[in-house]
Amino acid sequence: MRIALVGAGAFGIKHLDALSRIEDVQIAAVASRTIEQARDVATKYGARLATTDFDDVLQMPDVDAVILCTPTQMHAAQSIAALRAGKHVQVEIPLADNWDDARQVADVARTTGLTCMVGHTRRFNPSHQWIHNRIVAGELSIQHMDVQTFFFRRTNINALGQPRSWVDNLLWHHAAHTIDLFAYQSRERIVDANVMAGPLHPELQIPMDMSIQLQSESGRLCTLALSFNNDGPLGTFFRYICDNGTYIARYDDLFTGREEQVDVTKEAVSMDGIELQDREFVAAIAQHRSPNSSIESVLDCYNILGQLQDQLAHKL
C-alpha cells in the first residue's frame, strides 16, 4: 500500500515511524510547509516525492491513501480534496474546527465510498483498549470519567518546541479526544454537555483554560479540565471510576486507583497507540471494511463540539 504523508511536523514523524513498522506499506510522498523539511523527511523514509504542494500528491496515480497531519484549519478541505481525488484518508484529530465542515467531509466520504478515518488515538492506546475490552465483556461499567488535559503552552510552539504556523485549540482539538472516548467507552450517546472557558490569551486569542461536563443516556458522567497554563506534568490523564474498580490511563500505560500498574502488553501487537491506529487504517482499506474511528463513528463527537462552541459564543 502506497501512502503519502502531508504535514511532516512532530505528529507526522510519529506516523512515519509507525508506518515503517507495518509490512507491505511504502511511503510514496511527503508534503510539508518547506521544501527543505519535505526533502529531509522524504529521504529518511524512502519517499520518492518531496513537495510543498498538496495537489502534487493528489495527482499521483500510485498513491492509495493519504495521512493528513496539517494545521487544524486545513483538515476538512484537504480531506474532501483527497477523497474526491480517489484517495483513502486518515486525518489527524480534529476532523474540522466547526460542525458544518465535519458534516461535509462525512457526506463526501459516503458519496465516494472510500475509507475516511479520523485520528482518535485514545481508542487505540493499549490502556484504553484494556478498559474497553472489559466493558464489552461486561466486567466493568463506567460511573464517572475524570480527565485532565494539561499543557504549558503560552507561546505558539509544537510538541518539539518549534514555532507553529497555526494556533492550537483546547475545545476542537484536545477536548475532542475525551468527548469521543467517553461515548466510545460508555457505549452510549452523550445527551447533555456544558462548557465554561477562562480568559482569552491577549496574543493567541484563545481560552487558555476550560471546563467541560458530559452526561450519557443512562446518566454516566465525564468531567474534563483543560489548561495551557499548567506548569507541571504535561499530557492527558484519564481516571475511570467504575462499578468494579478505578483505573488511571496515562497514554499507553494503565494503573489501578492505588497506582498499581496493570499489564496491558497483551491487548495488541504493539504498545504504540499511533502504530495501532495506522495498522487499523491499512487493514480497513485492505479488507474493504469500516475502520475503528471511521468518520461515521466519530461524527457525534463533532456535533457535541459544535454545541459547546455555540455555548461559548453566547458566553464570551
- Cβ contact 210:171 at 8 Å: yes
Residue with cell 490523564: 237
pLDDT at 1: 97
Interval 255-268 mean pLDDT? 97
pLDDT at 160: 61
Single-letter amino acid code for the residue at 269: V
The residue that leads in pLDDT, 316 or 229, is 229
pLDDT at 313: 92
At 33, list the grid cell: 510547509
- Cβ contact 112:83 at 8 Å: yes
Residue with cell 443512562: 218
Q: Is the dihedral of CA 305, 311, 315, 316 positive or negative?
A: positive
Q: Which domains does the chain have, with CATH numbers?
A: 2-120+274-293 (3.40.50.720), 122-269+301-315 (3.30.360.10)
- End-to-end Cα, the chain, rounded Å: 47
Share of the chain above pLDDT 70, in %: 97
pLDDT digits (tens, 9 = 90+) for 273-299: 999 999 999 999 999 999 999 999 999
pLDDT at 315: 81
pLDDT over 70 (residue 301): yes
Q: By mean pLDDT, which of 4-8, 30-34, 166-170, 200-204 is the weakest?
A: 166-170
pTM of the model: 0.94
pLDDT over 70 (residue 166): no
- Cβ contact 32:7 at 8 Å: yes
pLDDT digits (tens, 9 = 90+) for 69-94: 999 999 999 999 999 999 999 999 99
281-308 in b/e burial notation, b at 16+ Cβ within 10 A?
bbebbeeeeebbbbbebbbebbbbbbeb
Share of the chain above pLDDT 90, in %: 90
